[in-house]
């Protein structure tokens, strides 16, 4: 009884994790379909975030 | 970035380079989800084959007020790296680049199938990751890709790659 409870919880957890990864993959495909201009805007945001972490001056695109 | 692209296009129209195409991380970004990159890689075919093929580019751009910064040249806020085509695959990739627009400015971008083939050829760890992302996130013309692989002797490498890294 106890074991089936634990294995039942593990099955649920695995399903949830599988669903998380499935949604992430879906999200990546959606992002891939964005217009080029929008992707460049996201890139600039990523550069800003990275600079905040790594403190690398002069790497941001100033456009 | 449209100002940067305009400068490069004008340089090509002035005959400093024969033709060019955006490659590397920015070309990849065109097809898959945005990932961090810092340079705009421009693969180009020179107007003539000689030893020093980068100097004319740097001279032209510096005259226009764009300054060199180590291996890059900063054009309208974007670090650009000019890479002359260095093998048949890259040359063919540039010649067959797609015409696209960025904020109304015409430019040329390497086709997804060529980016994939180049990644297979170069095969650094980030190239392997790039191959997987292309396969998962975008549609490629499989027939066209197959022809490129065959011509440039990459067919077996791709087959082995799929077996090792991709097939579930």
Mean pLDDT over each residue of chain A, to the nearest integer: 84
Mean pLDDT of A14-33: 92
Longest dimension (CA), chain B: 54
Of A29, A39, A63, the CB nearest to B29: A39
- Cα distances from A39 to residues A54, B26, B30, in angstroms, run 22, 9, 8
Instruction: Tell me the per-residue pLDDT of B7-52, one tens digit each, with 9 for 90 and over.
Output: 999 999 999 999 999 999 999 999 999 999 999 999 999 998 877 8
Instruction: Tell me the per-residue pLDDT of A3-13, one tens digit each, with 9 for 90 and over.
Output: 567 788 778 78
Strands B68-69, B40-46: pairing kind: unpaired
Bridge partners for B82 per DSSP:
B42
Number of neighbours of residue B8 by Cβ within 10 angstroms: 26
Of B32, B36, B38, the CB nearest to A32: B32
| CA B34 – CA A58 distance, rounded (Å) | 20
Complex ipTM > 0.95: no
Residue A11's pLDDT is 81
Interface of A with B in 17-56 (CB under 8 A): 25, 28-29, 31-32, 34, 36-37, 39-40, 42-43, 46-47, 50
Of B1, B35, B133, the CB nearest to A63: B1
| CA B112 – CA B117 distance, rounded (Å) | 9
Instruction: Tell me the per-residue pLDDT of B78-111, one tens digit each, with 9 for 90 and over.
Output: 999 999 999 999 999 999 999 999 999 999 999 9
Cβ-based contacts of B79 with chain A (< 8 Å): 59, 61
Q: What whole-number percentage of chain A has pLDDT above 70?
A: 86
Higher pLDDT, B139 or A9: B139
**Global confidence as pTM:** 0.89
């Amino acid at each position: 009884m106890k074991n089936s409870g634990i294995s039942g919880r593990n099955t649920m957890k695995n399903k949830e994790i599988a669903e998380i990864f499935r949604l992430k993959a879906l999200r990546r495909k959606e992002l891939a379909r964005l217009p080029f201009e929008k992707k460049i805007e996201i890139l600039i945001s990523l550069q800003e975030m990275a600079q905040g972490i790594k403190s690398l001056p002069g790497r941001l695109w100033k456009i | 970035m449209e100002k940067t692209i305009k400068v490069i296009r004008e340089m090509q129209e002035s005959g400093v380079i024969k033709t060019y195409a955006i490659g590397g991380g920015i070309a990849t970004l065109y097809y898959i989800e945005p990932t961090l990159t810092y340079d705009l890689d421009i693969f180009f075919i020179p107007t003539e084959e000689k030893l020093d093929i980068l100097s004319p580019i740097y001279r032209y751009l510096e005259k226009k007020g764009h300054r060199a910064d180590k291996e890059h040249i900063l054009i309208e806020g974007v670090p650009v790296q000019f890479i002359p085509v260095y093998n048949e695959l890259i040359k063919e990739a540039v010649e067959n680049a797609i015409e696209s627009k960025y904020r109304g400015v015409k430019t040329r971008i390497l086709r997804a199938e060529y980016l994939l083939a180049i990644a297979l050829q170069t095969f650094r760890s980030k190239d392997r990751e790039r191959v997987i992302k292309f396969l998962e996130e975008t549609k490629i013309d499989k027939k066209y890709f197959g022809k490129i692989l065959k011509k440039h002797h990459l067919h077996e490498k791709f087959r082995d790659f799929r077996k090792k890294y991709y097939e579930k």
